[in-house]
């Protein structure tokens, strides 16, 4: 297949793109930064700098849409929120505009989202059919993901199959949410966050890539999918498992009353709770390689 990826040099794209190449697909990456794709992948992957400049006769069999500024990088000021929104919505709108005018439509659009769309729901077990309470609908994370998904769904009007990828916390090498945690934990300064009772819904990068390939190839699968492992853990459990694998202990606690003024609204990413399961993927027969956190973390840390 001829595949276009936005956000292809990001944390997920750096693993997905080589996997697609290894399967014999032709990969093109959209990046605003000249030569960035070549610096990451060499000359194996084509780079384009503008989706709007694609010609009507340009054709891609599939589009992966992962474009977006990093969620964790900066405190959520009004200006930062605007960047987070525009970096996702503007690119997605350009993809939809290209699909509408393309003479040959892609067969599928696989577009990013996040489990933050569910809001803080405590111990409630959440699958793709979960309702979202009014208390969560004012959360920035919910509003961002909802707008992102609704924009991507417009591709259905052009007859394109749409898969919305509600992504959990991705465990992988050399990046992601785990990377900034490693040094404090190695120094014996690892700590649980807030009460530690909040649920963390995680997924190993190998499984994430395998799911993307499954959704790409199986044209019977469409709609919303939770990209999380089947067994989420609490923050306390995550903290103890990570510390044990690093040969350290973690007795400290970073209270919510410290996190909230320090990080503002972004603190919800750390103390909010989403106990998410990938019901539709399991029902489809997808087999996870990593179902337990300890094995997933051990692979990331020691391989």
Position 31 confidence tier, pLDDT thresholds 50, 70, 90: confident
Tokens 């084509």 belong to residue = 46
Give the per-residue pLDDT at 244: 96
Q: Pairing between strand 26-30 and 2-6?
A: parallel
Q: Which residue has the tokens 């696989």?
A: 110
What pLDDT score does 275 carry?
98
Q: Is the pLDDT of residue 43 over 80?
A: no
CA distances in angstroms from 209 to 16, 129, 198, 204, 229, listed in the order given: 6, 23, 26, 9, 13
Q: What is the pLDDT of residue 39?
A: 82
| CB distance 106 to 162 below 8 Å | no
What is the chain's mean pLDDT, rounded?
94
Report the range of poorest mean pLDDT among 31-40, 42-51, 173-182: 31-40
Percent of the chain residues past pLDDT 90, beyond the cut: 79
**pLDDT value, residue 34:** 67
In words, the CATH class of domain 2-302 is alpha beta
Query: Please, which pLDDT band fits residue 137 given cuts at 50, 70 and 90?
Result: confident
As a whole number of angstroms, the distance between CA 24 and CA 2 comes to 10
pTM for the predicted model, two decimal places: 0.96
As a whole-number percent, the residues of the chain with pLDDT over 70 amount to 100
Q: Which of 230, 227, 231, 200 is nearest to 213 (CA)?
A: 227
DSSP assignment string, the chain: -EEEEESTTSTTHHHHHHHHHHTT-EEEEE-SSTTHHHHHHTTSSEEES-STT--TT---SEEEE-----SSSS---HHHHHHHHHHHHHHHHHHHHHHHH-SS--SEEEEEEEGGGG---TT-EE-TT----GGGTTSHHHHHHHHHHHHHHGGGGGT-EEEEEEE-EEE-TT-TTTHHHHHHHHTT--EEETTS-SEE-EEEHHHHHHHHHHHHH-TT--EEEEES-S--EEHHHHHHHHHHHTT----EEE-HHHHHHHHGGGGHHHH---EE--HHHHHHT---S--SHHHHHHHHHH-
Question: 236 falls in which pLDDT band (50, 70, 90)?
Answer: very high
For the chain, give every domain's residue range.
2-302
Note the pLDDT of residue 89.
Answer: 96
Q: Is the pLDDT at 23 greater than 90, yes or no?
A: yes
Reported as half-sphere exposure (CB side, CA atoms, 13 A), residue 231 has a value of 11
pLDDT tens profile 70-115? 888 788 899 999 999 999 999 999 999 999 999 999 999 999 999 9
């Amino acid at each position: 297949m001829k595949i276009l990826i936005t956000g292809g040099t990001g944390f997920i794209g750096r693993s997905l793109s080589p996997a697609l190449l290894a399967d014999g697909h032709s990969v093109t990456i959209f990046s605003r930064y000249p030569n960035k794709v070549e610096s990451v992948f060499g000359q194996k992957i084509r780079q384009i700098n503008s989706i709007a400049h694609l010609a009507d006769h340009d054709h891609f069999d599939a589009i992966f849409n992962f474009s977006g500024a990093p969620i964790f990088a900066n405190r959520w000021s009004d200006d930062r929120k605007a960047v987070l929104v525009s970096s996702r919505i503007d690119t997605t709108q350009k993809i939809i505009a290209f699909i509408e005018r393309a003479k040959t439509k892609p067969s599928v659009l696989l577009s990013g989202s996040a489990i933050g769309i569910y809001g803080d729901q405590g111990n409630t077990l959440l699958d793709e059919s979960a309702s979202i309470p009014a208390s969560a609908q004012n959360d920035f994370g919910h509003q961002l993901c909802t707008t992102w998904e609704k924009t991507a769904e417009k591709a259905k009007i052009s007859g394109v199959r749409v898969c919305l990828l509600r992504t959990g916390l991705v465990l992988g090498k050399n990046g992601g949410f785990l990377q900034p945690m490693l040094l404090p934990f190695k120094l014996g300064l690892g700590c649980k966050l807030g009460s530690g009772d909040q649920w963390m819904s995680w997924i190993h990068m190998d499984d994430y890539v395998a799911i993307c390939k499954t959704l790409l190839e199986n044209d019977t699968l469409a709609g919303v999918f939770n990209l999380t492992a089947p067994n989420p853990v609490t923050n306390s459990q995550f903290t103890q498992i990570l510390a044990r694998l690093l040969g350290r202990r973690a007795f400290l606690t970073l209270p919510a009353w410290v996190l909230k003024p320090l990080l503002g609204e972004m603190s919800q990413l750390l103390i909010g709770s989403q106990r998410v399961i990938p019901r539709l993927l399991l029902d489809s027969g997808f087999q996870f390689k990593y179902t337990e956190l300890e094995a997933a973390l051990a692979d990331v840390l020691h391989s």
